[in-house]
Amino acid sequence: KAGVTQTPRYLIKTRGQQVTLSCSPISGHRSVSWYQQTPGQGLQFLFEYFSETQRNKGNFPGRFSGRQFSNSRSEMNVSTLELGDSALYLCASSLTGLDNEQFFGPGTRLTVL
């Protein structure tokens, strides 16, 4: 069974731009969650989607948004990029939700210049 895939793996943007990251979950998984990982703040939960609906949300500004499609694939969008948005963005999928084992993708490394 294929694992969680994330595209692109690396991304370089400039301040003020916007970016869209993509995540394809494991087949059959309906929950997709997103995390930001930085050396200073560690791993922080962004949001979780289940059956195309945002079910849980972390404490991030509205510039961070996401969506999930009917095939469970998910996208995360960050608008008006700031230098502090430079991070590794991880996506995870699970069968039913956050209380189940999360299967993580390799992440997208975003650098904002």
Partner 1 sequence: AQSVTQLGSHVSVSEGALVLLRCNYSSSVPPYLFWYVQYPNQGLQLLLKYTSAATLVKGINGFEAEFKKSETSFHLTKPSAHMSDAAEYFCAVIGSSNTGKLIFGQGTTLQVKP
Q: Which of residues 73-112 bind partner 1 (CB under 8 A)?
A: 90, 92, 96-99, 101-107
d(CA 35, CA 88): 8
Q: In this complex, which beta carbon is closest to partner 1, that of residue 81 or of residue 108?
A: 108
Q: Which residues are bridge partners to 51 per DSSP?
A: none
The secondary structure of 84-103 as a DSSP string is GG-EEEEEEEESS-TTSPPE
Q: State in angstroms the smallest separation of the CB of 29 from partner 1.
A: 14
**From CA 48, how far away is CA 41, in angstroms rounded?**
19
For partner 1, which is the closer residue by CB, 33 or 68?
A: 33
In the complex, the residues that contact partner 1 under the rule CB under 8 A are 4, 33, 35, 42-45, 48, 50, 55-58, 90, 92, 96-99, 101-107
